[in-house]
């Protein structure tokens, strides 16, 4: 069966009533026949039928045994890190999501968990950076915002040989384009806020494990720490997932066209998009992803923060906002927005230049999006002749 069919039919019809839409069980508790005798549900932090459906759906989409839904992507990441103990180390991709960096640096360092960062796009760096204390390898591929690609299957082999867990943040690709568990990863996390939800209308996180015992451990953490997803938001994510396949294909087509336009524009220096033949790891992306996703980043020839800020304020269709993966196109300036919690030297080393702009290419007609970027760049070129007097 094709992925689209599997995806649509992974969402079950309600067995009780035949309702085609998954019911929202807006309840805190469930009546028991006798103490401990119930229908599988006793308290809604531990289990909720609407959340359970989402958890089954995401497990199936990622090809895992266990799915778990959290109140945010960061809560999902937090639950995975709680598998570790004081003294353990994480080896993470250097171009990591800013919020994950903040969680690792400012929270988990207090509990004796150390995180080492390396450029995981080259497998040799991964092998070199392992220590006897490394218990978890943390990948994002593609990364945010420079769209770095790491070879999941090759890194999974190294992880297995060293009895280290491999977790992949699959937010940017989504299971419609990439299934890390099938490539050897142990855990997948998602900010379902992005493509899975798909409509910029919720905050949610998901974890999927390949192994059932590992899934049970994270389920224990989910219940013990309590950062669960609400029934209503679980329903919204399920509804988003129904059109995931369709949306992500169109996001990818639009992003490819935008990236090709940017690549030939005279004001643009670098374009980061795994679908371009010039991308550093284009072949690996083509091997492990079925399309290249909806995020495109670029830098300006004149690498100035003030100029980039003018560009992001000059588009009309691309709205200036953090986040990504929704129907509407968004853009942001990572250095002063999503990545401002990362120290400047480390940010530069990871390729997040002062003029870097990240686009979340939406589902509008692509010619309108290209025209919008073109007019923004043109207006800024004119403005550049005048001194920039005030910060935006």
Ligand X SMILES: *Cc1c(COP(=O)(O)O)cnc(C)c1O
Nearer to ligand X, 75 or 156 (CB): 75
Tell me: does residue 120 bind ligand X (CB under 6 A): no
Q: How far apart are CA 39 and CA 32, in angstroms?
A: 8
Point out the catalytic residue in the list 78, 95, 97, 372.
Answer: 97
State the nearest-atom distance from the C-beta of 191 to ligand X, in Å.
3
Sequence length of the chain is 392
Nearer to ligand X, 74 or 356 (CB): 74
Q: How far apart are CA 137 and CA 379, in angstroms?
A: 44
Nearer to ligand X, 47 or 72 (CB): 72
Residues in 134-193 that interact with ligand X by CB under 6 A: 140, 144, 169, 171-172, 191, 193
Tell me: does residue 97 bind ligand X (CB under 6 A): yes
State the nearest-atom distance from the C-beta of 194 to ligand X, in Å.
6
Among 73, 175, 231, 275, indicate the residue that binds ligand X (CB under 6 A). 73
Tell me: does residue 203 bind ligand X (CB under 6 A): yes
Among 49, 198, 205, 240, indicate the residue that binds ligand X (CB under 6 A). 205
Residue number of the CB atom closest to ligand X: 73
Tell me: does residue 72 bind ligand X (CB under 6 A): yes
Nearer to ligand X, 100 or 165 (CB): 100
| Annotation says 233 is catalytic | no
Tell me: does residue 78 bind ligand X (CB under 6 A): no
Point out the catalytic residue in the list 82, 194, 247, 347.
Answer: 194
Nearer to ligand X, 76 or 262 (CB): 76
Choices 43-51, 72-80, 85-93, 227-235 (CB under 6 A): range interacting with ligand X? 72-80
- Angle, in degrees to the nearest 10, between helices 212-225 and 73-81: 110
Angle at 199 between CA 196 and CA 200, to 5 degrees: 100
| Annotation says 211 is catalytic | no
| Annotation says 97 is catalytic | yes
Tell me: does residue 210 bind ligand X (CB under 6 A): no
State the nearest-atom distance from the C-beta of 155 to ligand X, in Å.
17
Q: What 3 state SS string does the chain have? A: CCHHHHHHHCCCCCCCCCCCCCCCCCCCECCCCECCECCCCCECCCCCHHHHHHHHHHHHHHCCCEEEEECCHHHHHHHHHCCCCCCCEEEEECCCCHHHHHHHHHHHHHHCCEEEEECCCCHHHHHHHCCCCEEEEEEECCCCCCCCCCCHHHHHHHHHHCCCEEEEECCCCCCCCCCHHHHCCCEEEEECCCCCCCCCCCCCEEEEECCHHHHHHHHHHHHHHCCECCHHHHHHHHHHHHCHHHHHHHHHHHHHHHHHHHHCCCCEEEEECCCCCCCCCHHHHHHHCCCCCCEEEEEECCCCHHHHHHHHCCCCCCEECCCCCCCCCEEECHHHCCCCCCCHHHHHHCCCCCCCEEEECCCCCHHHHHHHHHHHHHHHHHHCCCCCCCCC
| Annotation says 119 is catalytic | no
Number of residues that bind ligand X (CB under 6 A): 16
State the nearest-atom distance from the C-beta of 169 to ligand X, in Å.
5
Nearer to ligand X, 236 or 380 (CB): 236
Among 194, 251, 270, 309, indicate the residue that binds ligand X (CB under 6 A). 194
Nearer to ligand X, 130 or 285 (CB): 285
Among 57, 61, 69, 74, indicate the residue that binds ligand X (CB under 6 A). 74
Tokens representing 208 are 């999927």
Choices 54-62, 70-78, 125-133, 340-348 (CB under 6 A): range interacting with ligand X? 70-78
Contact residues: ligand X, CB under 6 A = 72-74, 97, 99-100, 140, 144, 169, 171-172, 191, 193-194, 203, 205
Catalytic positions are 45, 97, 169, 194
């Amino acid at each position: 069966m094709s992925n689209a069919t599997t995806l649509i039919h992974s969402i079950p019809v309600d067995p009780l009533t035949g309702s085609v839409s998954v019911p929202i069980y807006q309840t805190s508790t469930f009546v028991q026949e006798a103490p401990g005798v119930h229908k599988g549900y006793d308290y809604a932090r531990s289990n909720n039928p609407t959340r359970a459906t989402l958890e089954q759906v995401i497990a199936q989409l990622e090809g895992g045994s266990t799915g778990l839904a959290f109140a945010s992507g960061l809560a999902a990441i937090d639950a995975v890190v709680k598998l570790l103990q004081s003294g353990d180390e994480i080896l993470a991709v250097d171009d990591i999501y800013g919020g994950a960096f903040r969680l690792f640096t400012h929270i988990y360092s207090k509990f004796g968990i150390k995180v080492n960062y390396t450029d995981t796009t080259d497998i040799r760096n991964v092998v070199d950076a392992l220590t006897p204390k490394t218990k978890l390898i943390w990948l994002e591929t593609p990364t945010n915002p420079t769209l770095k690609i790491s070879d999941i299957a090759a890194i999974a082999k190294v992880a297995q040989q060293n009895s280290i867990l491999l977790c992949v943040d699959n937010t940017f690709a989504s299971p419609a384009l990439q299934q890390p568990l099938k490539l050897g990863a142990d855990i997948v996390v998602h900010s379902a806020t992005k493509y899975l939800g798909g409509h910029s209308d919720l905050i949610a996180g998901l974890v999927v494990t390949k192994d059932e015992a590992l899934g049970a451990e994270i389920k224990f953490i989910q219940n013990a720490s309590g950062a669960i997803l609400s029934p209503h938001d679980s329903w919204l994510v399920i509804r988003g997932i129904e059109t995931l396949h369709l949306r992500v294909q169109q996001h990818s087509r639009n992003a490819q066209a935008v990236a090709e336009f940017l690549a030939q524009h005279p004001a643009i220096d670098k374009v980061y998009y795994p679908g371009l033949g010039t991308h550093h790891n284009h072949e690996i992306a083509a091997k492990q992803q079925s399309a290249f996703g909806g995020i495109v980043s670029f830098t300006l020839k004149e690498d100035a923060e003030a100029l980039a800020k003018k560009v992001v304020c000059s588009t009309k269709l691309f709205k200036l906002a953090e986040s990504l993966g929704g129907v509407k196109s968004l853009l942001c300036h990572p250095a002063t927005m999503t990545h401002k919690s990362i120290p400047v030297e480390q940010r530069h080393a990871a390729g997040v230049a002062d003029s870097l702009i990240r686009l979340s290419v939406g589902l509008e007609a692509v010619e309108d999006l290209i025209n919008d970027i073109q007019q923004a760049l043109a207006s800024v070129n004119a403005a550049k002749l005048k001194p920039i007097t005030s910060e935006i």
